[in-house]
Copies of this chain bind each other. A is one copy, B any other.
Amino acid sequence: MVRVAIIGASGYTGVESIEIILRHPSAKLTYLTALPEECGHVADLFGQLRGRLDMPVEPLDLDKLAQTADVAMCCLPHKVSMAFVPKLLNAGVKVIDFSADYRIKDVAVYEKYYEPHTDRENLAHAVYGLPELFRGEIKKATLIANPGCYPTGASLALAPLLANKLIKTRGIVVSSVTGVSGGGKNPSPNFHFPNMNENLYPYGVGVHRHMPEMEQVASAVAGESVELLFQPHVGPFDRGILSSVYCDPTGDISAKQVQDLFRDFYKDERFVQVLAKPPVVKHVAKSNYCHVFPTVAKGKVVVFSAIDNLIKGASGQAIQNMNLLFNLPEAMGLE
């Protein structure tokens, strides 16, 4: 039984992780932490857990962590995360970090989009936790950088094409729409219900922090530098990301050929389903699945992918990584 601590349990990825572990036959929650002002009974923070989980959310105590947990799900925001992760690792637990702090290997890129990096030592050995692409390294890791939500969907859409040199490495457009839970739990005017409801809009034009993360994964898969334009939008629904990816083929290719390629590339992957028609966000909501549909239209290779941003894009993928780390069946607790 893997003993799991959740560091920063008071946000959406925290409660999502709790829900999954409650159903996991070989893992149990042993420790939930949050900032002091957010502590209390877990059902007071998340009413949906009333009667289902009787545990406190407490301020972090590293000794208690060391004694109670085998792995820490670190659900802290970037910058805060890299201040805590070294301590968590020193406490002897494996760490699955949900922030961006250990995702981007090139410190200069990280610092351009985020902050000065304060933990290069651990960054060096962190493993990017996208199991479908990096399963081997994940199994041996002690620190896993759990991927961003948008990069998960985009990378799964691009990988078969880039790995097979079927698309050009310049001019790629990833146009995505996320549900509002992607913006986190803090109230703001943009996400105030009467402003967000019946609305949809683009943001972060040319500057979103998930763009370099996508480029890093894409370049790793392609074996050469890939540049892309990532354009996020937010729409009036809770959960899910639909990514529409537009690329230029390197040569003649048919819709059937890209379909066959994807089916072959993902034939052993339970959580990536290659569809014969466009995906719908609702079919992956509340699940760890990615639905992907590749085709060719008007001379472009077009790929659509849909995931739940909080599950395959965060907490579900973290459990998938945890299963790999602890030699459990990869899909355990996620079906």
For this chain, the copies found in one complex come to 4
Interface residues on A, range: 35 or more
8 Å CB contact of A302 from B197, B205, B240: B205
The 0/1 profile, CB within 8 Å of B marked 1, for residues 279-310 of chain A is 11111111101010001111110101010000
8 Å CB contact of A192 from B192, B229, B248: B192
Q: Are B197 and A297 in contact (CB under 8 A)?
A: no
Q: Are B202 and A237 in contact (CB under 8 A)?
A: no
A162 within 8 A of B: no
Q: Are A200 and B270 in contact (CB under 8 A)?
A: no
The 0/1 profile, CB within 8 Å of B marked 1, for residues 38-73 of chain A is 000000000110111000000000000000000000
A293 to B227 Cα, complex, angstroms: 23
User: Which residue on B lies nearest to A178, using beta carbons?
Assistant: B200
Q: Are A175 and B235 in contact (CB under 8 A)?
A: no
A156 to B187 Cα, complex, angstroms: 34
User: Which residue on B lies nearest to A279, using beta carbons?
Assistant: B201
Residues of B contacting A306 in the complex (Cβ-Cβ under 8 angstroms): 201
The 0/1 profile, CB within 8 Å of B marked 1, for residues 256-284 of chain A is 00000000000000110101001111111
Q: Are A244 and B270 in contact (CB under 8 A)?
A: no
* Nearest CB on B from A287, distance (A): 7
Closest 5 CB pairs between A and B? A206-B297, A187-B187, A199-B282, A201-B280, A47-B283
